[in-house]
Amino acid sequence: MDAREAILQRLVAIAETFKTADGIKTVYRNNMRPPEANLPAILVLDGDEQGDENDPKSRGARGPRRMLMTPQMLIVLPEEAKNVGTVLNGLRAKLIKAVATDSDLAALTTNRIGPWLHSTQTSLAWGRSMLGEMGVAFAIPYYLDPAAL
């Protein structure tokens, strides 16, 4: 399995730990439309990746690349949720801590540096839907070695 897929699977496993104490009913990967009955949920989205522009061109197409992926983890609450902002912020903090301190995830990253918070987006702003949705994106560095694929 390549490093990108292993990292994404680990993020799903981390999200699954929220299903007991934190009231999350379901965890999905790349599913943007969970049924209302399955909310609250955490959605793990593969997101983007890009190569490090400072990698030597002399490595060629077959040489290893330093990559930076930015998957997102969306927290989605039911429409009738109370205290939406407070609940989202509480889950966000726990999610960031769980991802940032996961040693299995860190072991999959470049030099075991681990992931870091890249950005947070929320639906709670003027002119938006006001639904309980928050996307938490992480920057996760890893090595891509075409020979190992």
More confident residue, 117 or 147: 117
Kindly calculate the radius of gyration of the chain based on its CA atoms and give it in whole angstroms.
17
Q: What is the pLDDT of residues 44-100, one digit of tens each?
A: 999 999 998 888 888 877 888 899 999 999 999 987 778 888 999 999 999 999 999
Domains of the chain are 3-148 (3.30.2000.10)
Contact 52, 69 (CB under 8 A): no
Structure tokens at 113: 């540096």
Residue 116: its H or E element: strand 116-122
Distance, in Å, from the CA atom of 43 to the CA atom of 30, rounded to the nearest integer, reads 7
